[in-house]
A and B are shown apart, each in its own frame.
Chain A
Amino acid sequence: MTGDILFNQYPTSPHIWDEMKAIEGIRQQYNSIYDTVSKLNLNDLEQKHKLASELFMSQGITFTVYSDNEGIERIFPFDIIPRIITGTEWEHIEKGIKQRLTALNLFLKDIYNDQQIIKDGIIPAELIASCPHFTREVFGIQVPYDIYVHIAGIDLIRGEDGTFYILEDNLRTPSGVSYMLENREVTKRIFPNLLSESNVRMINNYPLLLHDNLNAFAPKQIANPTVVLLTPGMYNSAYFEHTFMARQMGIQLVEGRDLLVDNHKVYMKTTAGLRQVDVIYRRIDDEFLDPLVFRPDSALGVPGLISAYRKGNVAIVNALGNGVADDKAVYAYVPAMIQYYLNEEIILPNIPTYQMNNVEERTHVFENMHKMVVKETNQSGGYGMVMGNSASDEVIAKAKENILANPRGFIAQPIIQLSTVPCLIDGKLQPRHVDLRPYALCGPSGIQIVAGGLTRVALREGSLVVNSSQGGGSKDTWVIDMPTT
């Protein structure tokens, strides 16, 4: 079987936006892929798929599943057909994310200092006060350049008419950027010609941009600040990413036990004695960072770290307390924040969000449960989510019960049919739902976003859940500048 048959058999649906194929035929941006893949036979494609898996395996880009006391190494599934975004679409996304992040940074500064937005009645005080990630311990702490969200992974989806929506804001320790970078490296090996012919914007300057920013956040004006990446350790599922980023930036990868705080300064323990640390890019959640302030049972963090942070002797990236801004109930107020802080209309729209502590909205949701997705406000990674269209009556009844017990803990949104892209599955090209997570970096010189991001795919047929913990995979994401015709 050759590639063109694969394309001819590819189904489309009028109710779902497919990124490759409109009802009229293949979209222009996918022409080069169509040309290349058409000339290959299925065997070649499957060889490429196998090669890609082997590349991930041999580089140790794996996570470990433990059973019977033995660890089994698995890779995150990777689909070889790239997902394509046009330059024009990208300009729009970029503008929207920059606007949103600017507002969210202002919001975080405001909420941990003067709280004008509450005093002006834009956001209800009880919404903030009831947010589990609103961190009173960091109130009033001044951070360099007033930047709280240094690295953001804002998730976008595409509705049935092709409109991009913001699905959620990840402002704490967003992960996955190593997959964005490694996916491209793998594509370079499996489709070298296609990549060079297609005019794809580059992404591999991400570590350099981040490194420059991290250096700039050093509290003292010194030439070579000591920047470290703080990891929970090798048993963390994102450990590969931590080593990858440390290596790409040439900074030390440290664990909590490598650091200590003395006289409000942070040091790392080296073979030549103690050495002061200026900037910490941490990949440990807030509540584990300092057992003296947060969870006393945490062995991952560094006792006294927050005292050094408060004194301004060390910069922590991302800032602590950001969870209040990516709370799923606060999400609904981001359009209002943009209006309030920037006096602008929102560029990338939110998905309509129903607050469960509002009786009217809750009744509406309960009556239309099968069209709704219910999410826990402080969860991420696809945990605690109920998809009304596929859940059993029992699960729905349980969800309602949970909502009534703690209305602030949940929101509901209408289910949006995410756009689809072709994936090579069981010897066929099949449409699968995707989202998009571009990675944005905020530094002293503004917000930078490398072109593309991580495309996550729900590999099960019909599934709308793309999280890697829930059977998702990923794709290389290309931003292509189309020739003007």
Chain B
Amino acid sequence: MLSRIADSLYWLNRYMERADGMLRLMKTSYILSFDKVQANSMTWEPALKIFTSLSNEAIEDLKKDNTAALQYLLLDAKNQNSFKVIINRARENARGVQDQITKEVWEQVNQIYHLVNQPGLAKKLAGPEAIVVIDKFINTSDQFCGITDSTMPRGQSWNYMNMGKYTERCLLTAEFTHYFFKEVAFDFKNEQDIIYWRGLLLALSGYELHLKNYSSQDHNYNVVQQLLFDNNFPRSVYYALDRANRYLTDIAASNPVEGSKELKRSFGRLQSSVKYADLEIVEREGLEKYLVTVRKDLNEFSRTLGRTYFSYS
């Protein structure tokens, strides 16, 4: 496979996964902003911190205004991480690899692109239709996953696509967790009720699973346990790294170039820091430090992956 193609496939899926995570966080933020309990605390803050590079003052202003926050996150071209910009980038990548993805996948990306570029969208977001719009986007994003899964042949393209998807997913989960725990100073003992954690769990589609699995009142512990270590929860850090490892193994086996062994080893170190950790270790080390290290190592790994397989210019 051409290095350029592998690069684009990897980023196509990173962007699509980022867009997906963003939509879910936005939907929760939007819905929770109507709840009185949440109104004066932090509804929009994590989303604005994660998906914009605004100053703290600007975030303070924006988070009071539902429509403005939504429009800035979804559509503003000035925001380099807005949904629209992310989708445009995803489509650029898809366009460059049109002959390597199935027609169905291309058409789905193209459809989302036209949806986010339709005239009058900003106006819809200001009215009662906002939630309908977000739901529609989440739906098309789900379709993208389904269509990719049911039409893409398993092989090189598939491996790079999934490598991108699970790398991004792991980063998002770690980042979402980070910002929600920041509010409680990363303190396991600073107990919050489930209403507080609902925002985070809903944004990661893990709320129902949480209710089913955890009956104790140690919510802070339970949430970390689920989001970092639950191997059945598809958005946990553990799960995402486990999947990424599978695809990396396939990639390294079919492309035995210089550096692929080192790459495997560095990923192995990263993965074992999650696979063989538990709450006790995390609490001892400090949750903040732990989350930051995981993200830093994964970003570093992603750069090495690029140098090893994508260097074409």
Contacts and interface: CB of A to CB of B under 8 A. Distances in A.
Contacts of A224: none
B247 interface: no
Interface in B282-313: 309-310, 312-313
B264 to A, nearest CB: 15
A270 B99 contact: no
Given A270-B2, A271-B6, A257 B110 contact: no
Interface string B105-129: 0110011001001000000000000
Candidate in A233, A247, A271 with the most chain B CB atoms within 10 angstroms: A271
B313 A270 contact: no
Contacts of B110: 58-60
Interface stretch (B33-41, B221-229, B252-260): B252-260
Interface in A223-274: 233-234, 239, 243, 246-247, 251-255, 257-258, 268-273
Contacts of B211: none
B79 interface: no
B96 A234 contact: yes
Contact of A73 (B1, B96, B114, B312): B114
A271 B10 CA distance: 13
B137 to A, nearest CB: 17
A272 B2 contact: no
Contact of B3 (A239, A251, A258): A258
Contact of B1 (A233, A257, A270): A270
B312 A258 contact: yes
Nearest to B108: A58
Nearest to B258: A273
Tell me if A's interface is mostly helix, strand, loop or mixed. Answer: mixed
A254 B2 contact: yes
A69 B99 CA distance: 27
Contacts of A58: 107, 110-111, 114
Interface in B232-273: 251, 254-257
B95 A271 contact: no
A234 B257 contact: no
A127 interface: no
Given A57-B114, A234-B92, A252 B256 contact: no
Interface in B24-82: 77
B95 A255 contact: no
Chain A interface size, under 10 / 10 to 19 / 20 to 34 / 35 or more: 20 to 34
Interface in A246-304: 246-247, 251-255, 257-258, 268-273
B140 interface: no
B255 A246 contact: no
B99 A271 contact: no
A254 B1 CA distance: 11
A234 B96 CA distance: 6
Interface in A64-123: 69-70, 73
A60 B95 contact: yes
A360 B27 CA distance: 77
Nearest to A252: B2
B98 A270 contact: no
Interface in A168-196: none
Contacts of A59: 103, 107, 110
A243 B99 CA distance: 6
Contacts of A255: 4
A73 B114 CA distance: 9
Contacts of B96: 233-234
Contacts of A251: 99
A376 to B, nearest CB: 33
B152 to A, nearest CB: 14
B205 interface: no
B99 A269 contact: no
B313 A257 contact: yes
B148 interface: no
Contacts of A270: 1-3, 255
Contacts of B310: 271
Given A60-B95, A272-B256, A257 B111 contact: no
B306 to A, nearest CB: 11
Nearest to A240: B98
A60 B97 CA distance: 13
Contacts of B111: 58
B313 A239 contact: no
A261 to B, nearest CB: 15
Nearest to B6: A271
Contacts of A253: 98-100
Contacts of B255: 270-273
Contacts of B95: 60, 234, 239, 243
Contacts of B117: 73
A252 B3 contact: no
A258 B99 contact: no
A69 B84 CA distance: 14
A246 B107 contact: no
A252 B313 CA distance: 18
Given A246-B99, A247-B98, A271 B92 contact: no
Contacts of B309: 271
A243 B257 contact: no
B231 interface: no
A252 B312 contact: no
22 contacts: A58-B107, A58-B114, A60-B95, A60-B110, A69-B77, A70-B77, A73-B117, A239-B95, A243-B98, A247-B99, A252-B99, A253-B99, A255-B4, A257-B312, A258-B2, A258-B4, A270-B2, A271-B2, A271-B309, A272-B254, A272-B255, A272-B256
Interface of A: 57-60, 69-70, 73, 233-234, 239, 243, 246-247, 251-255, 257-258, 268-273
Given A253-B98, A257-B313, 5 more contacts: A73-B114, A243-B98, A271-B1, A271-B309, A271-B310
